[in-house]
Structure formats: structure tokens, C-alpha cells
Structure 1
Amino acid sequence: MTRQRELALDPQPSMATRREWLDDGALLLRGHAGAVAVDMVTEIKRIARLSPFRRMATPGGGMMSVAMTCCGARGWCSDGQGYRYVAADPQTGQPWPPMPATWRQLAIHAARAAGYDGFEPDSCLINGYRPGARMGLHQDRDERSDAPVVSVSFGLPAIFQWGGLRRTDPLRRIPLLHGDVVVWGGVSRYVFHGIAPIRAGTHAVTGPCRYNLTFRRTL
């Protein structure tokens, strides 16, 4: 791989990236990952051949509308036993695919732009949204670390529901577009958030779906 190619896969936050502070400790970097979208979506499909997308059961017996896979040292799972991170994919019995180094660097740079130096993600959750799929309001409390979360969006637009530290706090509806990156941590680390149902459509890079990658430190 040439140095030019490496740089194309490893964007640094720049003054050209439009920054929107959602809250204390929560930053939206508009279009920050757009330049590497094609390469990252290609990698998503490669990872999914090793650890296929699947819809997981919830502890209450329901079924998530979002399909999910993971990469990195540990992956997130949900079933009748609860929510947790595990070192091996329960569906294949094999370790989760390694996290691409360029993905890790993108997450580190985005976290740094939001003021979180030293972020070292060890897990990436990859969600696949088809039209109608949604993510209910929740807090990210399954990690043992209080490190920030870095979220990258590709494909169909989504409405990011951003609340407060109580489930009943008012929600803001924030459009997330192809290439947008959101980082939240600090006092905003446990804010309730979710994704409204995805509207039908087609995107040039992802087709009729949205991909969302969330980078986390689980230990």
C-alpha cells in the first residue's frame, strides 16, 4: 500500500470538518469519514463474511430490528442471559475479526478532536439498518471503561435521538448523514440516545441500508 493510499484511509480532523457541539463532552464532526467511506464499507462486507450480520434477541425475549456484527478483541452480544462483551463470536465459535488499523486510527483522531486524548478502542460494533429498523433509547453501560464512544455513519440518513441522563429527559432530533462522526464522553458518556426508524431509500455507497460503527474501550 502506498503512502498516499495510507493517508487516504487515515483522515485527520481538520478545520474543513464542520464541528457541532451537541452537549458538554459530545461533538459531531460533519462528513469527517466521507472520504474513506468506500474503503470502510468494503471492509465491513469482508468482516461480515467472517462474522455474519445477525439480529440478536434481547433479554426480555424480543428481537432487535438492527442486524449486528463486530470486530476487535471483543464483541457485544445480547440474548436471554443479558448484554455483555465476549472474545469469540457465538455464531462461529471463532475470535471476532481483527479491527482494521485504519479504523482504529480514525476513531483515535476523532476522539482527540473532541478532547479525549489517549482513547484506545478495542472493540467496534457494526450495525446494519434496513428501512424500518431502529435503535431504542438506551445508555451505553456494558463497557467496564468510561472511555468515550466514537460513532461513524454511512449510507441512508438517520435521526439521532439525543436525550439526557434520565430516560424521561427531552429528546433532540439530530440528522446524521453519510460520513458523519459523533463522539461522546465525559459528562455526556451515559446520555440516553437512540435512532428513529430508518426511512426507505438508496445510497450510492451502501445501497438500501445504513451502516453505523461504534468504537469502544471495553476493558
Structure 2
Amino acid sequence: MPSPPSPDGFRYLPDRLDAAAQQALLDAVQQVAAAAPFQRYVTPGRGRPFSIDMTNAGPLGWVSDRRGYRYSPVHPATGRPWPPIPAALLDLWAELAGWPQPPQCCLVNLYRGGGARLGLHRDEDEEAADAPILNVSLGDTAVFRLGGRQRGDPTRSFLVPSGTVMVFAGEARAAFHGVDRILPGSSALLPEGGRLNLTLRRVTPGD
């Protein structure tokens, strides 16, 4: 049975970053995490913890607690502004996003162990809902799931190895997507194993 088609505007660029570029970007992300430590956020309402750790870079950071999902200019634990988005990521955005304004948030998700996953969801907390999203993977391969604009639309799963860049623009900007699992040990990039996912977003429509 054939796989469902990808939504318009989705671009999958495996091996977009070579080994040297991946290592350089990992070094930059480690500096981000030193200034803005990873945290285990909880879901709104019932406060269930995510299975992944998160931090951010840029003027705004995506956070979640019992009060809801939102963007904040400061780290919820330290109260300090988020560190700047690494220059290599800004260069990728300028090259691939096709958007006149720079990203305001780089959400960094850290997956460790076989149980780390991210359920099917849409990115819809941004006022700039038409701006594309750019996604960079480092470390262990992810089993990624991509659907359509409705939760019940058919989905397809595919592997996303280290160095892959994906762009969600146009119709794909509102597509449901998630991470079913990671494949532990499939990459030696992260010293302690695991996967880093870097998601660049434009939050507000202004300058």
C-alpha cells in the first residue's frame, strides 16, 4: 500500500549538514544549554511531564507548564533572557526558509533513551502562522511521523538521521507531525547518546 503523499511545502533534506557542520552546531548548542539549562516541562492542566528535555535560544522561548503553552522572553528557572540563536542556524534559515524576517525562537528538544517521543501535534502557538518552520536533527536517528492538516488524516513514518534539515512551509506549516521514537546508538555525535532537534520559528508577524 503506497504511503500518503507529503503535504505541499514540506522539504526533506537528508545529509544537509556534513560531519564537521554537525559537530560545530553541537558545540554551539552545548553553549546554549550551558547558559539556559535543559528542563523537563509539563503539560497544561494535569501537569504530566514530557518525555524529552527542552531549552531555547533567541528573543523568545517556547515553554509549557500547568498554565499552558506560551512564548517567554526569559528562562523560567533562571529568569535570564535566552542566549542568541547560533549563527549557523540563522544562515540555514536565510538560505532555506524563504521568509524575509529572521526566526525569533530556536526550540531545542533533547531525546534520550528508547522511550523518548513526541506525540502527534501541530505547531500553532505562533501569531506568525504563515511563517515556515525549519527543523534540524543532530544525533540518533528519529522515526518521524508526518500527517496532514487534520488529526485524522493519513500519516507516514520515515527515518530522520543526524544532519537532516526539514522545512515546513505552505500547507505543511499546519501539518500534524511527531516523533514515534529514536533509535539509540544510531549516531555517535552526542557524547552521552540521544538526539537533539532544533526547531526555528517566527513567532510574531512584526519586524
Name the TM-score, length of structure 2 as normaliser: 0.90
- Which residue is equivalent to 1:144? 127
- Which residue is equivalent to 2:106? 124
Equivalent residues in 2 for 1:54-93, closer than 5 Å: 54-59=39-44, 60-93=46-79
Matched, 1:166 2:150: yes
**CA displacement, residues 106-135 of structure 1 (integer Å, 9 cap, x when unaligned):** 122122xxxx24252111001100022000
Cα distance in 2, alignment partners of residues 199 and 189 from structure 1 = 26
Aligned length: 195
**More RCO (CA 8 Å, sep 6+):** 2
- Which residue is equivalent to 2:88? 102
State whether residues 12 and 164 of structure 2, in contact with CA within 8 Å, keep that contact through their aligned partners in structure 1.
yes
Matched-pair identity in %: 41
Change (3 A) 1:98 1:28: same
State whether residues 58 and 78 of structure 1, in contact with CA within 8 Å, keep that contact through their aligned partners in structure 2.
yes
Unpaired runs of 5+ in structure 2?
A: none
* Paired letter, 1:76: W
**CA displacement, residues 38-80 of structure 1 (integer Å, 9 cap, x when unaligned):** 0110111111111111110100321100100000000000001
SS in 1 for 2:53: strand
Q: CA deviation at 1:23?
A: 2.7
- Which residue is equivalent to 1:44? 29
Q: Note the aligned Cα RMSD (angstroms).
A: 1.4
More strand as a share of residues: 1
Name the TM-score, length of structure 1 as normaliser: 0.85
State whether residues 110 and 181 of structure 1, in contact with CA within 8 Å, keep that contact through their aligned partners in structure 2.
no
* Paired letter, 1:102: A
Change (3 A) 1:102 1:200: closer
- Which residue is equivalent to 1:186? 170
